[in-house]
Structure 1
Amino acid sequence: MAVSSSPTPVRTAPGPRTGGPGVPGTRRGVRPLSERLAPYVLVAPAVLVIGVFRLYPLALGVNFSFTGDGDRNGQAVGLDNYTVLFADPMFRESMRNVGLLVLLLPVAVLIPGLLATFVYLRVPGHRVYRGVYFFPAVLSPVIIGAIFNLLLAFDGPVNALLAAVGLGPVDWLGDPDVAIFAVVGVHIWATFGMALVVFLAGFATLDASLIDAARVDGASLPKVIRHVIVPGLSRTIQFVVVTTMIGMLTSMFGLVYVMTGGGPEGSTYLPEYYIWFQQGQMSRPALASAASTVLFVVMLVVGMLQLALLRRTGRED
């Protein structure tokens, strides 16, 4: 009897895959070139704008600070501008005021933080307060300065109220020891609305059940804020601290110009006012560029130190 035999299939070692589902000619797990380039294409416009309108002018300003003014216009002068800068008592006064702003920064952050907490906890009238708190942020610094010039005048309403309770008048804008605190206080009042909005946005991401659990456990409001709200809003607090510091260093020119003009005796000088004075009044743009460079370095160092401190505090909590 003949036995029929079928051919035995020959098995071959599998080779590398050269195709994938819907993507012929590519290895499995390797993304197409278009997908790998997509993130860079998307961020390219923002990087271009920052490079052209931020970094390039910054580099030009730093380079310009090493050139001369007046008869030496355009000539390289090395560090001469910085030597003149730190020998100027008005610039040294402005840098001392920067140190004061750093010390007052916690107050500028604490006020909107506490008010945002009360709004989030829905105190009576919280909807009205939200609009009232933000209203000063939409006013021009010139308008705000003019209003507070009237309120803080020596014979103005604020001193009239102090006299009504038996306190002597205060020369809010004429006393060198008081004027800078008055200007900074007005700035905090005028700008805390933006920080309030940022804090409220941070509260939207906070887990409300944690606050409810803390209340059930009998935690007081200060303990809830310290142990629940502050750790939960650590990123928001970092953002508000940095942006508030930048605002205090670069957004007070209008108030200083309208309220005190840098006086009395230069006590309210800030770097940005000094830069304007050297550029616009003294026609010394190279010296103004040097002051701008110093201000940039100060802002960078202070911001990095603040972030490092906040991150360390967050890890300890």
Structure 2
Amino acid sequence: MPIGNTQPSVRPASAGRAGGAAVTPAAHRSGARPRRSHGGLRAERYAPYILVAPAVLIIVLLRLYPLLLGVNFSFTGDGAQNGEAVGFGNYSELFGDPLFRTALGNVGLLVLLLPVAVAIPGLLATFIYLRVPGHRFYRSVYFFPAVLSPVIVGAIFNLLLAFDGPLNAVLGSVGVGPVDWLGDPDIAMFMVVGVHIWATFGMALVVFLAGFATLDAALLDAARVDGASLRQVVWHVVIPSLARTIQFVFVTTMIGMLTSMFGLLFVMTSGGPEGSTYLPEYYIWIQQGQMNRPALASAASTILFVIMLVVGLMQIKLLERAGKED
């Protein structure tokens, strides 16, 4: 029986698996990708918006909407005029109140002391990064005050700064008379701000250390080779390299000084002596919590928000201009 000329069957190159479309070697070599469907492209386009939508919704509901309600409420009356439109009556009353004018004056004092509040953690972070003598001590204790409650901090410094307290005892031992640190209207606000800076500089220092992690070490090495002093290294290398970090610390520190000093004020001075340590947030609490005047408190809150917005934008502009000049 003649044997036929049998050959093994060869599957054509165009045949794919399970009858699917074939992928030619040329397609593999060219790296061609299958085209995505129109629905896939649309999903990819809207994915970022879907991901940020929950955060935006939270901000709108818990921040922007209450802010707008507060602004609207500030144009209504209190007491017998509750809910009635009074125009700018609340704002006129605020600027006619000596206590509120004192609070605004203290805001100006905070703005003047802000560079000190930023320079202290900035210098400490520089010392730690450059490993100057004592940097291990600063690294071990810098964050300790930040974990204390403002009430505890205020109570501690009430004891230290009391008229018959340890600080005046030390001054008396060197022949200096006692100072009424918290009872003198001319210095009480400086004491409260100083305590606040001591209690909160640890957070700013952490931000500065994070900024130093992005600093190019080659710049510092070049400065050392050129014989630059520590002051020159800080002024010409560190500050320009950390411009964005410094902007962030300036803005967040100012916001903290305007909105996070209530605990210290309440424990240390309660707004005294003679109202000299009033700040807008303390004034707002007095009007809302004790005087039961929510509309007037809303007007003061609106003014505080505008102050923070204007001061923050001015700081950013000034720091950006200084960076460009350098």
TM-score by length of 1: 0.91
Distance in 2 between the 1:227 and 1:272 partners? 38
Distance in 2 between the 1:65 and 1:178 partners? 33
Letter in 2 for 1:179: A
Letter in 2 for 1:188: I
Residues 220-262 of structure 1, C-alpha deviation per residue, up to 9 Å, x if partnerless? 0000000000000000000000000000000000000000000
Looking at CA atoms only, which structure, 1 or 2, has the larger radius of gyration?
2
Partner of 1:101: 110
Distance in 1 between the 2:170 and 2:309 partners? 42
Partner of 2:288: 279
Alignment partner of 1:23 out of 12, 29, 35? 35
Partner of 2:227: 218
Partner of 2:59: 50
Alignment partner of 2:309 out of 292, 300, 309? 300
Partner of 2:47: 38
Partner of 1:141: 150
Distance in 1 between the 2:80 and 2:48 partners? 50
Letter in 1 for 2:250: V
Alignment of 1:155-234 (within 5 A): 155-234=164-243
Give, in angstroms, the shift of residue 24 of structure 1: 5.0
Partner of 1:11: none
Q: How many equivalent residue pairs?
A: 295
Give, in angstroms, the shift of residue 42 of structure 1: 1.5
Distance in 2 between the 1:195 and 1:164 partners? 36
Give, in angstroms, the shift of residue 128 of structure 1: 3.7
Distance in 1 between the 2:120 and 2:303 partners? 29
Q: Mean alpha-carbon deviation: is it higher for 235-244 or for 68-77?
A: 68-77
Alignment identity in percent? Answer: 77
Residues 133-175 of structure 1, C-alpha deviation per residue, up to 9 Å, x if partnerless? 1100000000000000000001111111112222222110000
Q: Mean alpha-carbon deviation: is it higher for 124-133 or for 298-307?
A: 124-133
Distance in 2 between the 1:182 and 1:128 partners? 25
| Residue 316 (str. 1) matches residue 297 (str. 2) | no
SS of aligned partner of 1:75: coil
Distance in 2 between the 1:283 and 1:162 partners? 44
Letter in 2 for 1:23: R
Give, in angstroms, the shift of residue 123 of structure 1: 2.7
| Residue 290 (str. 1) matches residue 299 (str. 2) | yes
Alignment partner of 2:264 out of 228, 231, 255? 255
Distance in 2 between the 1:42 and 1:136 partners? 37
- Over 3 Å counting, the alpha-carbon distance change for 1:24 and 1:56 in structure 2 is closer
Unaligned runs of 5+ in 2: 1-31
Give, in angstroms, the shift of residue 25 of structure 1: 5.8
Distance in 2 between the 1:116 and 1:170 partners? 33
Letter in 1 for 2:102: E
Distance in 2 between the 1:121 and 1:283 partners? 54
TM-score by length of 2: 0.88
